[in-house]
Amino acid sequence: MKVFFEMLAKERFDYFPRALHEARAEVVEYPELAIEKRFLIYYDSPFFFFVNKANKRLAARLEYGLQQAVKDGSFEQLFKTHPISANILQQFNRHERDVILLDNPQISDESKALLKQMATRENCLVTQEAKH
């Protein structure tokens, strides 16, 4: 990754999209770079857990646990309180940014449907009109 930051600093390209939690740490490490203040590029990008395909019990348990956490709100609560993600949308002034919504054709319809259930996703996608 270091090479990308060096190329950006040398103006080999104009921007390098990063996740919010990544950008927050990276501007400390690379103070010559800045986080763009007007736009937020959003696309669904799920995190996956990979387990040995022979360990079907572990895979089923993880899937069940994560589904329950989404359903009962504890996943959302973890997002709001975990040091990496707590207050991240507020720290980046989400409501002052224009959201550029991109489709991610690399994820399945099933993953897209699951992501739409996430309140954190909706918080990212609040439109400028809705906040007035």
Instruction: Lowest mean pLDDT of 5-9, 20-24, 76-80, 125-129, name the range.
Output: 125-129
28 and 50 co-located in one domain? no
58 and 92 co-located in one domain? yes
67 and 107 co-located in one domain? yes
CA distance 113 to 107: 10
The number of beta carbons lying within 10 Å of the beta carbon of residue 75 is: 19
**How would residue 55 be classed by pLDDT, with cut points 50, 70 and 90?**
very high
76 and 22 co-located in one domain? no
Per-residue pLDDT tens over the stretch 102-130? 888 998 998 888 777 775 666 666 543 44
What does the DSSP 8-state code read for residue 39?
Answer: E
23, 35 contact by CB (below 8 A): yes
Per-residue pLDDT tens over the stretch 35-54? 998 998 888 888 888 999 99
Domain with 14 in it: 1-36
21 and 86 co-located in one domain? no
Residue ranges with strand state E in the chain: 39-42, 98-101
Domain count, the chain: 2
97 and 71 co-located in one domain? yes
